[in-house]
Amino acid sequence: MSAPTPHLLASTAGDAASKLGQTGEALVVFFGIGLVIFYAAGRATGRLHRPLTIAVLLGPAVILLAVGLVIPALRTIYLSFYSDDSSTFVGGKNFGWAFTNGSAQQALLNTLLWIVIAPFVTTLLGLLLAVLVDRMKMQSLYKSLIFMPMAISFVGASIIWKFVYDYRDPKDPQTGLLSEVVMKLGWHNPPDWILSHPLNNFLLMVIMVWVQTGFAMVVLSAAIKAIPDDIIDAAKVDGAKGLAMAFRITFPMIRNTLIVVLTTVMIITLKLFDIIRTMTGGNFGTEVLANDMYSQTFVNFDNGKGSALAVILFAGVLPLVAYNIVLLRRERQIR
């Protein structure tokens, strides 16, 4: 590979400096406008003071919410009723395709499989670890180690697990940890893990569970520690211990937190994209809704089908978000 020419380096440096300068100018303008608005709100008196203060505090957030979320959402719903190039109204044809086309059905079924298995396993494992680690010395160290994968992006986690699932001919030296382990245990001809369907779907779920278990453990551990000591002491006086304590006292007391953790992981799972895109690209029977939406929109350049899949995804996430909000409000009322 030849070294970059001085002209190319100078051009690249010039482009970077230009973009950096434009970014700086935009930030200066933004903060300048903000200061002027806040100054005007601070100087306002009389009847204008309260409405102007509300407008200053809520206005930017409302504008950003509209520009970044509401308007794109409405446009996506609009495009879902049009053809691939957004020129012809096709009604519900794109939604019919999503539920009848073989590849789209595979994506929907895989997504359903993910939201049924991955969140429940993550929550259950997080609860188990929360109970076990809270009884150990130096629990903060163990919690930090378990929580550490949360600091890694799904792309980074996928690259790590690519090496775990890497496959080579059994006659050659193995670089994949999983193949090496099973061969040491006596399985002399392991499969190519990522190509083996439907096993590959469950192996990809392991990545999600590995990343999200720390989140579930920390939240549930905090909920368990928040149970009043007098309730625990009263239960012990009544003879509750072990599983009886867990099922009659601990779990009922943290039920709402369990549901919040479960639904939160479900929302993350519904939006799953990074793991599939990095590991398989949606091939080998691993396609999911979010990745198919991306492929239809940015690979096949079919805005209609991509928008329809986005609307279906939004319809799946919305009830979970609404339920979480209702549950949190109910908890605040109780407190």
Determine the Cα–Cα distance for residues 190 and 168; give it in Å rounded to an integer: 9
Report yes or no on 1 lying in a domain: no
| Distance between CA atoms of residues 218 and 126, nearest Å | 8
**Residue 77 domain-assigned?**
yes
Same domain, 15 and 115: no
Please indicate, yes or no, whether residues 266 and 119 belong to a single structural domain of this protein: yes
Domain assignment present for 206: yes
Q: What is the pLDDT of residues 33-44, one digit of tens each?
A: 777 777 776 666
Q: Are residues 133 and 112 in the same domain?
A: yes
Q: What secondary structure, in 3-state letters, does 182-238 show?
A: HHHCCCCCCCCHHHCCCHHHHHHHHHHHHHHHHHHHHHHHHHHHCCCHHHHHHHHHC
Q: How far apart are CA 221 and CA 136, in angstroms?
A: 13
Q: Are residues 76 and 122 in the same domain?
A: no
Q: Which of 41, 70, 93 is the last residue of a domain?
A: 93
pLDDT per residue as tens digits for the range 131-186 = 888 777 888 888 888 889 988 889 999 999 999 999 888 888 888 889 889 998 98
pLDDT of 20 reads 83
Residue 117 inside a domain? The answer is: yes
Distance CA(21)–CA(257), nearest Å, equals 47
247: which 2 tokens? 């099922």
Q: Is the pLDDT score of 1 beyond 50?
A: no
The verdict on pTM exceeding 0.85 is: no
Kindly give, in sequence order, each residue whose CB lies less than 8 Å from that of residue 198, ignoring residues fewer than 6 positions away.
285
Position 214 in a domain: yes
Partners of residue 82 on adjacent β-strands:
89
Which of 59, 93, 127 is the last residue before a domain boundary?
93
Residue range 210-218: average pLDDT? 93
Per-residue model confidence as pLDDT tens digits over 280-324: 998 899 999 999 999 999 998 999 999 999 999 988 888 888 887
Q: Based on the domain organization, do 131 and 43 belong to the same domain?
A: no
